[in-house]
Amino acid sequence: MATVLLIRHGQTPANASGILAGTSPGIQLDDTGIQQISDLSKALKGLVPQAIITSPMERTVQTADIIAQGLSTSDFEPQIQHEPGLIECDYGSWTGQSLAELAHHEMWRAVQDHPSSVVFPGESGESMSHMQNRAVAAIRRWNDLLGPDSLYIAVSHGDVIKSVIADALGMHLDHFQRIVIDPGSVSVVRYATLRPFVVATNASGEKASRFVTAASDQGSDAPVGGGSS
């Protein structure tokens, strides 16, 4: 079965200050974010992914670069490919605003309780349903491209990863806010013939190393033992 490690980019200044970065250009990891991904890279040491794909945003590309450097050996040099389907949701005119201020917006409650109904305001604003559809389609396209016994890494953003995991769990998008995906975390999903299995969610640092062996063990349509953190 195809196994994907969904990695959220490390912390950025926008994360630390409560700003909805969205598709704002030029946002890089801060020192904490670099350390988070460096620690995660060490925890994933020994993996040989068939591909590393990433949202084309600067913060995710920087995260993918650190991961790739950590996995490189004399016999293995991972290549990074951009995947537009994994780009952050376009929050339209909400982009760049303070989350504390947005919490007073009349649409905020819908984002929390009924996100499938939400289309973000502004000319470029995306619906959350569209975000989920194109992200899930991208993951399934890579599953098909790499094959049923593949293992690969996908670097993306919090809401995007939550939407992919919700789909894997058979959970309606309206419940995806129940899923927590922190900066610098890894979640593992296995796509079997009949259904996906969510092996781990929101693991970081040393805890992520518990799932390296599980992620590397291919070839069964049975669920995998493990847990989430």
The overall pTM is greater than 0.85: yes
Q: Tell me which residue of 161, 172, 159, 170 sits closest to 139, measured CA to CA.
A: 161
pLDDT at 216 over 80: no
The 10s digit of each residue's pLDDT in 44-55 is 998 999 999 999
Backbone φ and ψ for 38, nearest 5 degrees, come out as -60, -45
Residue 217: predicted pLDDT = 61
Instruction: Give Cα 82 distance to the centre of its chain.
Output: 14
Residue 220: predicted pLDDT = 46
Q: Tell me which residue of 194, 186, 193 sits closest to 164, measured CA to CA.
A: 186
State the average pLDDT over residues 160-185: 98
Tokens standing for residue 43: 């925890």
State the average pLDDT over residues 52-65: 98
Residue 137: predicted pLDDT = 98
pLDDT at 127 over 60: yes
Domain spans in the chain, listed from the N-terminal domain onward: 2-215
Residue 204: predicted pLDDT = 84
What's the CATH code, domain 2-215?
A: 3.40.50.1240
Q: Which residue has the tokens 């389907």?
A: 85
pLDDT at 198 over 90: yes
Strand order in the sheet with 186-191: 80-82, 51-54, 151-156, 2-8, 186-191, 196-203
| Residues 177/203, Cβ–Cβ less than 8 Å | no
State the average pLDDT over residues 90-112: 97
Residue 226: predicted pLDDT = 40
Residue 209: predicted pLDDT = 72
| Residues 118/127, Cβ–Cβ less than 8 Å | yes
Q: Per-residue DSSP letters for 9-59? A: PPP-HHHHHTB--TT-TT----HHHHHHHHHHHHHTTT---SEEEE-SSHH
| Residues 108/31, Cβ–Cβ less than 8 Å | no
The chain-wide mean pLDDT, for the chain, equals 92
